[in-house]
Amino acid sequence: MTASPGDGPFTPDGDTDLDQAIHAVEHQLSLLWRRGRAVSLRLSREVHPDLDPSAYGLLTILRQHGAIRLTELASLIGVGKPTVSRQVAFLISLDLVTKDADPQDGRAWLLRLTGHGEATMARVQDARRAIFRQRLGEWDAGELDALAENLGKLNTLYERDGL
């Protein structure tokens, strides 16, 4: 029986250079993902001790996109409206997000960061950038550009598949 990546040490079936390279990338991305989640958890706690990292993600999207509808926000993160609605209600209770009537459709609401939410996210995202600068400060600009380009290629593949 062949081991799978979730069963422990994994040896690719074909044992080709490509298989080994893919396994190495998968391993490194898994480590990076776990570490990224740990950083997100820490940063979300800096916003509020009870804030879930996924709600932190909502704040990040609102900061990037400005005022958007709940349905658009749910679509951007790929979860259902009820889940986002619960998180948004919590963010509103913390005075991080507000909802205003959509001027183009009086039945809809636009979500946006409050002044407090914007200031909080600016502070926390500055701290996140400082972490990146600390971790990547020894790399030269060319290495960082190559990393960004390759990660962009990978993200494009996932986007193409609707992920």
Domain ranges of the chain: 17-136
pLDDT for the residue 11: 53
Tens-digit pLDDT profile for residues 151-163: 999 989 988 877 6
In angstroms, rounded to a whole number, what is the distance separating the alpha carbons of residues 50 and 28? Answer: 30
Kindly tell me if the per-residue pLDDT of 5 is higher than 80.
no
**What region, left, alpha or beta, does residue 28 occupy, with left being phi > 0 and alpha being psi -120 to 50 degrees?**
alpha
Chain-centre distance of CA 154, in angstroms? 15
Confidence band for 13, pLDDT divided at 50, 70 and 90: low
Supply the DSSP string of 115-141, one letter for each residue: HHHHHHHHHHHHHHHHHHHHHHTTS-H
Specify which residues 100 forms β-bridges with: 110
Tens-digit pLDDT profile for residues 25-36: 999 999 998 988
pLDDT for the residue 161: 79
Tens-digit pLDDT profile for residues 78-99: 888 998 999 999 999 999 999 9
- Tell me the mean pLDDT in the region 98-126: 92
Confidence band for 10, pLDDT divided at 50, 70 and 90: low
100 phi and psi, to 5 degrees? Answer: -125, 155
Q: Would you identify the CATH topology of the domain 17-136?
A: Arc Repressor Mutant, subunit A (1.10.10)
pLDDT for the residue 9: 52
Of residues 5 and 52, the one with the higher pLDDT is: 52
pLDDT for the residue 119: 96
